[in-house]
Amino acid sequence: MTLIPERAPISEPAPPAESNDYHLSVGCQRIRVRYRPGVGIPLVLCNGIGASLEILDPLVEQLDPTRPVVRFDAPGTGESPPSLLPYGFPHLAWVLGRVLDRLEIDVVDVLGFSWGGSLAQQFAFQNPRRCRRLILVGAGTGAVMVPGSPTVLSKMMTPKRFRDPSYGASIAGEIYGGSVRDSGQPVAELFMRPLHAGSGKGYAHQLLAGAAWTSLPALPAIRQKTLIIAGTDDPIIPMANAHVLKMLLPRATLHAHDGGHIDLVLNAEVFGPVIDGFLGPTKPLRGKWTKTADVKITPGG
């Protein structure tokens, strides 16, 4: 099913608000956060495995510029140092909640991309009143899912593709599918965005978190309206997983496209309006939604 974006008509696009970076200490973990202020309920973006928050720049640039956006580096990626010990998604969802507390943000919408889709599901399950709407892009159900091909998955066991963009480009067509089957250059350019590729320890912890977790028993209890975006040419998360999510999530809508795993960022001009249409127009918070306070933390500290 293809969604038709429902964007509020405006005479001229509003200029994007300036984003601020914060380094927040939460639960013995230091997390780098980028916050773009705006109007209404913020959208929290949970990134794919091994990638820093800059990877999602193309998507953020295509979203309604008045929509508040929160991004962060998971432990061991970007500018967030690795955790001392391995962690699970329940703990990381708790950490994300504490980050939002520090930013004085109450209710949010959450988008999870790939590995971040698992974190988004866990956050929605743990915070049914705090998470208003859920968007899952190229996501599965964790350890118990329809797997991609072993060859593809073996190439994702290390963060080498982020550290060496030329290597990432050479394997892009095989592991990501979609439009990059013809040329991996867009992937190389995308992977040059991160300022820091993260650590091997941090990547290993992310792999362990996914290997020890499944959302299957919890999916019927996730009552938020959910948009599932999935590509029919996704070698990492086959399309069958989107159908499983659609079947088990009570209020889910499936948006299928003929692209691959990372079309969300390579073709962000297509998906930005789809996401805005699902979330609805931005408007000041009132009624049952608690107002988002101004952030009072000094940027960088």
Radius of gyration of the chain (CA): 18
Q: Are the C-beta atoms of 170 and 151 separated by less than 8 Å?
A: no
How far is residue 237's CA from residue 193's CA, in Å, rounded to a whole number?
A: 24
Tokens of 186: 């867009």
Annotated active-site residue in 80, 83, 114, 118: 114
How far is residue 190's CA from residue 110's CA, in Å, rounded to a whole number?
A: 23
- DSSP string for 183-247: -SHHHHHHHTS-S----HHHHHHHHHHHHT-B-TTTGGG--SEEEEEEETT-SSS-THHHHHHHH
114 is catalytic: yes
Report the run of H or E that residue 62 belongs to, with start and end: helix 57-62
- Angle among Cα 236, 253, 230 to the nearest 5 degrees reads 20
Q: Are the C-beta atoms of 81 and 52 separated by less than 8 Å?
A: no
Catalytic site residues? 114
